[in-house]
Structure 1
Amino acid sequence: TLCQVMFEGQQTTVLLETMAGKGTEVGRSFEELALIIEGVADKRPELSAKLGVCLDTCHVNDAGYDIVHDLDGVLDEFDRVVGIERLRAVHINDSKNPCGAHKDRHECIGKGYLGGEEFGGGMQVMQNIVSNGRLRALPFILETPNELAGYAAEIKLLRSLQQ
């Protein structure tokens, strides 16, 4: 368990990642993440401050959270269930799957259901993510299936979208 590997005085914050719900993992819902955090806090309250969450855009989409049409509503729900102060990082990816597919298949920015207009998303979705006041100051980690030149182009694109 987390309580066995975490220790008082540790400098590192452990981040639980939102998952897609493909059936072989925990953390597919905000409620599951909250239960894990509460379990640690109940057993070892001194460790609670060193536990946070990384929001993966592909995973939350695939888990059924509609960040394409209601990013603020999804973040409001995260805040109610987990607490927005626990959100410490964002894995920014597009998704090869529609909302609720429970598959976890990352796609390059603009080529999937989040950033691709042909799938109902668009660059406005990516702009909303990188410019959102509750996310903007967090570290963003790009996890798309790409090569160095592709990553450079995606980073440039995402920076150009940020307002």
Structure 2
Amino acid sequence: TFQELRAIIDQVDLQEQIGVCFDACHLSDSGYDIVHNLDGVLDEFDRIIGLGYLHAFHINDSQNPPGSRKDRHALIGDGYIGLDSIVEILNHPLLRHLTFILETPTDLDGHADEIKLLRSLYRD
């Protein structure tokens, strides 16, 4: 939870030198509703931890419904998060400046295809 991350951060001496990496599947599978309430999730994160700590985003889909607590990544657009939500994440004004790291269960050719897809969905 964001509260657990806050508790960890609070124990770090050099807090200005650490950051958080979101993971779409982890967020969804842990019960954060990034499909229907991305703004609410970001507001909660900002209130508890602070958006200044958010440095990167693992982009992926989830094989399981929200709140399943399973962490099974799916290909982009092939899971419960869905392509529309991935597009919203990529282009969200509070997230679009982040480094996005593709983390899906595929081979090099599959990753190349997904990177092309993600680049085509990113709005300049």
| TM-score greater than 0.5 by the shorter chain | yes
Partner residue in 1 for 2:103:
143
Partner residue in 2 for 1:37:
9
Q: Which has the bigger relative contact order, CA under 8 A and spacing at least 6?
A: 2
TM-score by length of 1: 0.74
Q: Secondary structure at the match of 1:37?
A: helix
- How high is the sequence identity, in percent, across the aligned residues? 58
Computing the radius of gyration over CA atoms, which structure comes out larger, 1 or 2?
1
- The CA distance in 2 between the partners of 1:34 and 1:62, in whole Å, is 19
CA shift for structure 1 position 39:
1.4
CA shift for structure 1 position 124:
1.5
- The CA distance in 2 between the partners of 1:80 and 1:158, in whole Å, is 29
Counterpart residue type for residue 91 of structure 2: S
- The CA distance in 2 between the partners of 1:75 and 1:159, in whole Å, is 23
1:54-101 deviations in Å (ceiling 9; x for gaps): 000000000000001111111111000110000000000100011100
4+ residue segments displaced more than 3 Å? none
Pick one of 49, 61, 74 that aligns with 1:94: 61
Q: Does 1:162 align with 2:116?
A: no
Pick one of 93, 96, 105 that aligns with 1:133: 93
Partner residue in 2 for 1:152:
112
1:96-141 deviations in Å (ceiling 9; x for gaps): 01110000000110110011xxxxxxx2211101001111111101
Q: Secondary structure at the match of 1:68?
A: coil
**Unpaired runs of at least 5, structure 2:** none
Partner residue in 2 for 1:25:
none
TM-score by length of 2: 0.96
**Unpaired runs of at least 5, structure 1:** 1-28, 116-122
- The CA distance in 2 between the partners of 1:158 and 1:71, in whole Å, is 19
Matches within 5 A, 1:24-103: 29-40=1-12, 44=13, 47-103=14-70
